[in-house]
Amino acid sequence: MAGLDSLYQELILDHAKRRLGATDLAELPELTESTCGATSHQRNPICGDEITLRVTLDGEVVSDIAWEGLGCSISQASASMLTDLARGTTTAELAQLTEGFREAMRSKGQLPLDEERYGDAAALSGVSKFTARVKCAMLAWVALEDATRRARPTTG
Amino acid sequence: MSTTPATADQTAPQTAQQAAGKPVFDPAAVRDDFPLLGVEVNGEPLVYLDSAATSQRPRAVLDAERRFLETVNSAVHRGAHTLAAEATELFEGARATVAGFVGAEPEQLVWTSGATAGLNLVAYSLGNAAAGRAVPGHEDAVRQWVPGPGDDIVVTEAEHHANLVPWLELAARTGAAVRAIPVHDDGTLDLDAAGALLTPRTRVLAFSHVSNVLGVVNPVEQLVALAREATGGTALTVLDACQSAPHLPLDLPALGVDVAVFSGHKVLGPNGIGALYGRAEVLEALPPFLLGGSMITTVTLEGAEYLPPPQRFEAGTQPVSQAVALAAAVDYQRAVADRFGTDALLAHERALERQLRHGLRELPGIRLLGDAAGTDDGTVERVALQAFEVDGVHAHDVGQLLDARGVAVRVGHHCAQPLHRRFGTTASVRASAGIYTTAHDVDVFLDALSGVRSYFGVA
With the C-alpha atoms ordered B403, B405, B409, B413, is the resulting torsion angle positive or negative? negative
CB nearest to B394's CB, from A3, A46, A73: A73
Whole-number pLDDT of residue A47:
75
Cβ neighbours of residue B353 under 8 Å, at least 6 residues apart? B215, B382, B383, B384, B385, B386, B433
Amino acid at B205: L
Please tell me if residue A120 touches chain B, with a CB cutoff of 8 Å.
no
Whole-number pLDDT of residue B134:
95
Domains of chain A: 2-151 (3.90.1010.10)
Please tell me if residue A47 touches chain B, with a CB cutoff of 8 Å.
yes
Min Cα separation A4/chain B (Å):
7
- Cβ separation A47–B412 shorter than 8 A: yes
Residue B106: closest CA among B400, B308, B366: B308
- Cβ separation B396–A71 shorter than 8 A: yes
- Cβ separation B401–A4 shorter than 8 A: yes
**Higher confidence at residue B142 or residue A46?**
B142
Whole-number pLDDT of residue B5:
38
Chain B residues within an 8 Å CB radius of A49 = 396, 426-427
| Percent of chain A's residues with pLDDT above 70 | 96
Number of CB pairs, chain A paired with chain B, less than 8 A apart: 52
Whole-number pLDDT of residue B12:
43
Between the alpha carbon of residue B374 and those of residues B38, B190, B238, the distances in Å are 35, 18, 31
* DSSP for residue B134: P
Contact status, residue B360 vs residue B366, Cβ threshold 8 Å: yes
**Which residues of B are known catalytic residues?**
415
Chain A residues within an 8 Å CB radius of B42 = 3
- Cβ separation B396–A8 shorter than 8 A: no
Half-sphere exposure of A33 (CA within 13 A, CB side): 0
Chain B residues within an 8 Å CB radius of A131 = none
Domains of chain B: 8-49+341-455 (3.90.1150.10), 64-331 (3.40.640.10)
CB nearest to B401's CB, from A1, A49, A130: A1
Chain A residues within an 8 Å CB radius of B393 = 73
CA B12/CA B350 separation, integer angstroms? 10
Chain B residues within an 8 Å CB radius of A45 = none
* Alpha helices (H) along B112-251: 115-130, 139-143, 165-174, 191-197, 220-231
CA A156/CA A145 separation, integer angstroms? 10
**Bridge pairing between strands B428-432 and B385-390:** antiparallel
CB nearest to A47's CB, from B396, B404, B457: B396
CA B229/CA B237 separation, integer angstroms? 13
Contact status, residue B131 vs residue B114, Cβ threshold 8 Å: no
Q: Going residue by residue through chain B, which has 459 residues, state the pLDDT in tens, using 9 for 90 and above.
A: 333 333 434 444 445 556 666 679 999 999 999 999 999 999 999 999 999 999 999 999 999 999 999 999 999 988 789 999 999 999 999 999 999 999 999 999 999 999 999 999 999 999 999 999 999 999 999 999 999 999 999 999 999 999 999 999 999 999 999 999 999 999 999 999 999 999 999 999 999 999 999 999 999 999 999 999 999 999 999 999 999 999 999 999 999 999 999 999 999 999 999 999 999 999 999 999 999 999 999 999 999 999 999 999 999 999 999 999 999 999 999 999 999 999 999 999 999 999 999 999 999 999 999 986 666 667 889 999 999 999 999 999 999 999 999 999 999 999 999 999 999 999 999 999 999 999 999 999 999 999 999 999 898
DSSP of A55-75: EEEETTEEEEEEEEEE--HHH
Min Cα separation B426/chain A (Å):
6
CA B303/CA B299 separation, integer angstroms? 6
**B310: preceding bond cis by omega (within 30 degrees):** yes
Cβ neighbours of residue B347 under 8 Å, at least 6 residues apart? B13, B14, B16, B17, B24, B25
- Residue of B400, B411, B447, B454 best to disrupt the A interface, most CBs of A under 10 A: B400
* DSSP for residue B189: B
